[in-house]
A and B are shown apart, each in its own frame.
Chain A
Amino acid sequence: MIVSAKNSLDDKIKGLDMGADDYITKPFHLAELNSRIKSLARRRQAEGTNELVFNEIKINIDSGEVSVNGKLIDLTRKEYEILLYFIVNKNKLITRESIAEHVWGDNISYVDNFDFIYSHIKNLRKKIDLNKGKNYLHNIYGIGYKFSER
């Protein structure tokens, strides 16, 4: 995985062509780096099911299916990505900027306000709650969110 300050498309293509599995530009969010490393690690583990589990929540990365207590729940693309990002970075405070850039892409920095994330978080919480899950998504001082038991 290449970590570089050079952010042009050419540099990225060159790096990936040289055999790198991923290319991340400085500066980056730790959660983003963590998410990418884990994703690479999962890809390397060829055997076994490609599944992420957090208590009663189970994510099948290959099929994109999410279940709570064995029951499938219907998530939008963005809710799914947010959930995945949270579970990979469980027990860590993830800033709103980091979530926005991870889910909406680098281009989201063109806007000045990330309040729109909140409605997705709210929906996600509701969908997990409806299936008798617990509230794992905690707002931390308005800075970001933490996905944890408490």
Chain B
Amino acid sequence: MKLLEKTNRTYFLVSGTAFVVAGAVIYFVLSFIFKDQLNENLLSDIDSITRTIERNGIVPNYYPFIEVKEVQAQSEKPLESLDTLIFDSTEKENILFRQISTVKTVNGKKFYIAARDTLLEKSDLLLTIIIITGSVFILLLISLYFINRKLSLKIWKPFYKTLDDLKEFSHDKPGFRLSSFSQLDEFTELNETLDKLTQKVITDYQSLKRFTEDASHEIQTPLAIIQSKLETLLQYPDLKKDQAELMNSAYVSTLRISKLTQALLLLTKIANDQFPEKSMINFSELIEEKVKIFEDYVNEKSLILKKEIRPECFLETNFFLAESLIMNLIGNAAKHCNTGGTINIVLDKNHLEISNSGTPLPVPSSKIFERFYKINKSSDSQGLGLSIVKEICSLNKWQVKYEYENGLHNFIVVF
């Protein structure tokens, strides 16, 4: 829920309740005052009627407002008040009247005197109050809404600016600064804190990146030495089989470390966006060329390789990354394909699909792109190939997905 929506909703609820309560109070107070005033008026009416009869002997009669009748049988009665319905012949409906009546002796004669006045009907009063308070309520709400909106947009502007800036933030953009500054202390503080935080993230990232690069370069030199020493050792003429095997095992592991550091360096470089040069690359040709590298491997493992490569599919990207993407995907399919199984490669202008037959994954497929994820823990594979694929795709804003269908592990890259 947006901030504006939330405040508006609160305003609406609170002022709505306040208006209902206020309306009820107004209703009761008003009806009490009205009744009281009416009673006073009617009492003074009775007084003036009595005086008129006393002075002039005229018996006034304005039915239904004033009714005076001479009565014999009755004794005097004190004042009594009541509400009564009287039929109005002009309006043809019963109208509610407030009536005060008495029986009095005036000039020796007994009179029944009643003074009446129309009572404002309860429903009319209620309706009037509802209309008045309701319209004030709506007016207030509308003005609150606009004031709130204007204020929010103005006050929160720096906040939204900061938010937009932060969305652009990436740890590998060294020039990033939070630009907006507000007159409000809270936002200034927020910006300062966030600015400090982002700068820290950037410097940490830079040093991490330098460390990774330096480390992988520095590792290559001693590895080269170990590797050549082992190769030299392997040249000794009188080597026993077990000695040679031990050396070879060390040698093969050295090769693996070397590949591993290279793969890690590649991942770091992709994350740092260190492949800015782009050109139009003929993916169709590139794939055909790379497939050839695997031909002997594929034959040895009795795999069936099917290709559906549409010619002249060009994509603008970095050549090295395109090569790496294709090699990793084909390499992955070749490695994990069951002996005698099938590899399918489909390319058209919009997507690349590489699949291989095999048993389903023992774990959720979402893990497949994770670094160092290996199906077979003891396998020689680094578990980095598919993370490299994923990084290359996200760098190029391509989508990559994995699905298992009809016994096929299928990797789809949507350009």
> Which bracket fits the contact residues of A?
35 or more
Cα distance A140–B244 in the bound complex, in angstroms: 9
Nearest Cβ on chain B to A130's Cβ, whole angstroms: 22
> B334 within 8 Å of A by Cβ?
yes
Interface of chain B residues 197 through 233 with chain A (CB within 8 A): 217-218, 220-221, 223-224, 226-228, 231-232
Interface of B is mostly: helix
Residues of A within 8 A of B290 (CB): 107
Residues of A within 8 A of B297 (CB): 111, 113, 116
Q: Tell me whether A5 and B220 are in contact (CB under 8 A).
A: yes
User: Using an 8 Å CB-CB cutoff, how does the interface string of B233-249 with A read, 1 for contact, 0 for none?
Assistant: 01100000100110010
The 10 residue pairs across chains A and B that have the minimum distance between CB atoms: A110-B331, A27-B224, A5-B220, A26-B224, A116-B300, A116-B296, A26-B220, A143-B248, A30-B231, A27-B227
Q: Tell me whether A26 and B232 are in contact (CB under 8 A).
A: no
Nearest Cβ on chain B to A54's Cβ, whole angstroms: 18
Q: Tell me whether A27 and B258 are in contact (CB under 8 A).
A: yes
> B327 within 8 Å of A by Cβ?
yes
Cα distance A106–B262 in the bound complex, in angstroms: 12
Q: Of residues A5, A6, A105, A116, which shows the largest number of chain B Cβ atoms within 10 Å of its Cβ?
A: A5
Q: Which of A40-48, A63-71, A89-97 contacts B (4 or more CB under 8 A)?
A: A89-97
Q: Tell me whether B223 and A108 are in contact (CB under 8 A).
A: no
Q: Residue on A with the closest CB to B225?
A: A27
User: Using an 8 Å CB-CB cutoff, how does the interface string of B363-382 with A read, 1 for contact, 0 for none?
Assistant: 00000000000000001110
In-complex Cβ contact of A29 among B231, B299, B301 (8 A): B231
Binding site for A on B (CB under 8 A): 217-218, 220-221, 223-224, 226-228, 231-232, 234-235, 241, 244-245, 248, 251-252, 254-255, 258-259, 262, 290, 293-294, 296-297, 299-301, 319-320, 323, 327-328, 330-331, 334-335, 379-381, 385
A-B contact pairs, 27 of them (CB 8 A): A5-B218, A26-B224, A27-B223, A27-B226, A28-B227, A30-B232, A93-B234, A93-B235, A95-B231, A95-B251, A97-B252, A98-B231, A104-B296, A110-B294, A110-B335, A110-B385, A111-B297, A111-B335, A113-B297, A116-B296, A116-B300, A117-B296, A140-B244, A141-B241, A141-B245, A143-B248, A144-B234
